[in-house]
Amino acid sequence: MYLELQKRLGSRLRSLLEEKYGLLVENIPLEIPPDLKFGELATPIAFELARKLRKAPRIIAQEIVSALNGLEGFAGFEVAGAGYINARLDRAAGVRLVVGGESLARASSGLHSLVEHTSINPNKAAHIGHLRNAILGDTFVRLLRAAGQKVDVQNYIDNTGVQVADVVVGFLHLEGLPEAEVRQLLEVLKGNGERIDYYCWDLYARTSQWYEQGTAEENEARKELRYATLHEIERGGNDTAEVAEMISTAVLRRHLETMQRLDIEYDFLPRESEILHLKFWESAFEQLKQTGVLYFESEGKNKGCWVMTRPGAEVAEGDLDEDSKVIVRSNGTVTYVGKDIAYHLWKFGLLGKDFGYQPFFTYPDHECWISTEQGVEPHPHFGGAQAIYNVIDARQSDPQANVIQALRGMGHVDQANRYTHFSYEMVALTPRCAVELGYDVSEEDLKRPYLEVSGRKGFGVKADDLIDKLIAATRAEVDARQTGRDEAERQKIAGQIAIGALRYFMLKFTRNSVIAFDFKDALSFEGETGPYIQYAVVRARNIFRKGETTPEAVLAEFAAIDPAAYLEGEAAEDIWSLWLRAARRTLVLEQCIATSEPAYLAKHAFQLAQEFNNFYHRHHILTEEDPKRKTFLLATAAVALRELVVALSWLGIESPEAM
């Protein structure tokens, strides 16, 4: 409702300024005033016009206000302060709009988007940093879908990189297991219900250390072994590649299981092995050469390489660009950015090639596909999106910018403009948390505000460990309260609350704030947390349960009542303010998408819950004697409940029946 009225007022003001002053103002600033005494919408536009019109802002505001009459949905306008224009809504009409609810199934926007997130190297267990990535990405997917977009969710799998090679070196050389025995070991672990990704977490850390533990000559030999292993994996068709395939696939399945615990699902898993074997790069290379984005360097430190100019670089015609980005090395191999350019051409349907597809992981209501050289028929088609979002941490903004630069240079300007690096800062550990976990922390590190998580060092909090810990904690709380419920019900509720707490925790911070992780904060269920919002939902539901009615029945009954009498006066301000908050859904959605910032929705959900709790405390609904007022109060609870549940679902958080 808010967004609709805001747009209505905006366009009215725009046309008014044009008629009255002959001014075209593209963006009329409209804001929600800090206090209801200033109305529900306001604009400081008169200040901006004061200079152009050579008049006092107050006079201009007065002129605008007198021309602003009879705008549907508004009760009146007034000038305040030095020249603010404050708008008061027709409260009864507003309430009716909110009751009607903005359609949840919004008309398809027609936009086809692709969101890539998670993308964990399949050589170790997922940790809290990966959780932030996946939760941000999954929530953004829900927001785009809520806005009517068709969205494909992809999780890129680098199954042929050095990280996988390192753990393969661990299996083959540190553990000394030949291919057949690795296969056996994986079976045994699986049989014992042990987490393979956990096993690899330790082995990967050990291998990383092993590279540096020997004598200089030994370390040199180990590094050689590392790269020989990497090249065998890249080439494929040998035992080493077979081991890599087994391990990376087993770990990948674990990642999908971990994410499924958080209600995170994927549509397609493109793998680097197919990008290599299906020769995506060769097609991209041709296009890059033809468009002149890549050129062969014949001098300087990059002599013998195919390079591209970095974004923002200024090189005079004919000068040597020593700072250029190498895409093809002098030995003929392609760098990471090169492969990424090819992959992104595919994402936009510009490559002229496609993956083979094969079903890989089955969710309750859909299938997740994986890339393969020769796929099955029939299969869905992915790629060819109009807009893409890459959920990748801020440290990779340089390579991301290179890819965008290449697309733009090739003439794909629209695509480059619809390429969003959805960047976010890392999740680090507070020194206290690291000590708590039993890691050795140096004196120097103890003084730092936070310590970076490192898979290579095996330093971090594993995702499943955190989820297990959260569930244990919520289970204890549920057991203390839900004495009448059976085991299965309690476990279900504990799970819903644990996931709510975790997802909210990862979403409450804005993207470019580093999260210094601490168990005390993450395991909190009070204050600005997911469970706080879930609790508001449970309270609202209990009102209807005890009152033996439903939100739907109440809203139907409410339609016959004139709400105006209950919305005026000092005592009604808090209730009206709750209705206004409930009316902000699409406004917040639009803002989240425009800024790629899910934290705004998290904040909105919390504030709505807070206002509901306040309302709940001040007005006792079921004992209200005036039947019409009781219906009004019930309708207020119904609307708050509906909006809380929708907001939570967009955050990927369930609304428990009890807690």
Partner RNA sequence: GCGCCCGUAGCUCAGCUGGAUAGAGCGACUGGCUACGAACCAGUAGGUCGGGAGUUCGAAUCUCUCCGGGCGCACCA
Question: What number of residues does the chain have?
Answer: 659
Amino acid 288 reads L
User: What is the token pair recorded at 129?
Assistant: 């940093």
Q: Angle at CA 244, nearest 5°, toward 242 and 247?
A: 110
Q: Assign residue 263 a region (left: φ > 0; alpha: ψ between -120 and 50; beta: otherwise).
A: left
What Å distances lie between residue 587 and 3, 7, 90, 633, CA to CA? Answer: 5, 10, 19, 25
DSSP state of 571: G
Counting contacts by CB under 7 A, is residue 333 touching RNA?
Answer: yes
Q: Which of 41, 256 has the CB closer to RNA?
A: 41
Q: Is 448 in the site for RNA (CB under 7 A)?
A: yes
Among 27, 103, 362, 374, binds RNA (CB under 7 A): 27
Q: Which of 11, 19, 81, 411 binds RNA (CB under 7 A)?
A: 81
Part in contact with RNA (CB under 7 A); list of ranges 29-37, 190-198, 341-349, 359-367: 29-37
Residue 47 near RNA by CB under 7 A: yes
Q: Which of residues 390-429 bind RNA (CB under 7 A)?
A: 394-399, 425
Q: Select the span of 89-97, 263-271, 350-358, 537-545 touching RNA (CB under 7 A).
A: 537-545
Chain positions 266 to 325 lying near RNA, rule: CB under 7 A, are: 272, 301-305
Closer to RNA at the Cβ: 57 or 137?
57
Residue 50 vs 593, nearer CB to RNA: 50
- Does position 623 bind RNA by CB under 7 A? yes
Report the C-alpha gap between 618 and 614 in whole angstroms: 6
25 binding RNA? (CB under 7 A)? no
Residue 329 in the binding site for RNA (CB under 7 A): yes
Residue ranges in 579-608 that form contacts with RNA under rule CB under 7 A: 591, 595, 597, 599-600, 603, 606
Nearer to RNA, 163 or 372 (CB): 163
Query: Both tokens of residue 54?
Result: 């050579």
The per-residue DSSP string of 7-48 comes to HHHHHHHHHHHHHHH----S----B--SSGGG-SEEE-HHHH
Q: Which of 283, 386, 610, 649 binds RNA (CB under 7 A)?
A: 610
613 binds RNA (CB under 7 A): yes
Question: In which element (H, E) is residue 586 found?
Answer: helix 585-595
> Closest distance between RNA and the C-beta of residue 93, in Å?
21
Q: Which is nearer to RNA, 260 or 549 (CB)?
A: 549
- Residues 157 to 176: which contact RNA by CB under 7 A? 158, 161-163
Q: Is 508 in the site for RNA (CB under 7 A)?
A: yes
Token duo for residue 354: 């496609």
Which tokens sit at 476? 């204890």
User: Any contact of residue 640 with RNA (CB under 7 A)?
Assistant: no
Query: Which 3-state string (H, E, C) describes 39-61?
Result: CCEEECHHHHHHHHHCCCHHHHH
Starting at the edge strand found earlier in the chain, the sheet holding 419-424 runs 356-362, 367-372, 268-269, 150-154, 112-116, 387-393, 419-424
Give the integer Cα–Cα distance in Å for 403 and 411: 13
Asked if 639 is part of the footprint of RNA (rule: CB under 7 A), the reply reads no
Binding track over 458-487 against RNA, x by CB under 7 A? ----------------x--xx--xx-----
**What's the rounded Cα separation, in Å, for the pair 625 and 631?**
10
